[in-house]
Structure 1
């Protein structure tokens, strides 16, 4: 049985996808491999992989190039709102699955923030030890 939230689920929206998820989805929809896109952008493959894994984000000039190559809007790439690729052909997700996905994204975001805080503390410690 479907409910209204199942049919309105925004697969690439801010509650369901991260920046990296949107890059990966748009790249796949464009029919490009990571190697092909990184070569076209003039970046290392590891840089693109970091973007898709939400470990880093591109600078403004590469972000603009990325939107052109993937045929998506800048707002969509950053927030999930705007013109993006078609949503993947999947069955509507149940409320339970949507809740799990949202919680997983929140945990991933928290982990990234914690890793950033740890890096800053390590840098402070190195400076304090000099």
Structure 2
């Protein structure tokens, strides 16, 4: 718990201090994925709203995002999120091949679930 609190304080400071954890997580993930996608020929096709679940005094934030592009670029993004993104962890990944009927080609889509766990200060009061 102490490590999580220290990590939360450090990340809050890096994100400007005044922004809440929920807002920082969503914005940081969108910024990281958006810039990575632009540099590696990936197209962000879906970015879900923040889903929050609570268990006693902990909150779990989950975001779902989908991208389309080449397999190697998808793997590079996963590696980048798992090794460099400090605000959350990759919880699940799904690959799906979809037929594009406009050009009669198959396209690879990746759906990623990223989660962030933190202690809810309001429930401990």
TM over 0.5: no
Instruction: Name the TM-score class by shorter chain.
Output: under 0.3
Q: TM-score, normalised by structure 1?
A: 0.27
- Pair member with larger Rg: 1
Q: TM-score, normalised by structure 2?
A: 0.28
Larger helix proportion of the pair: 1
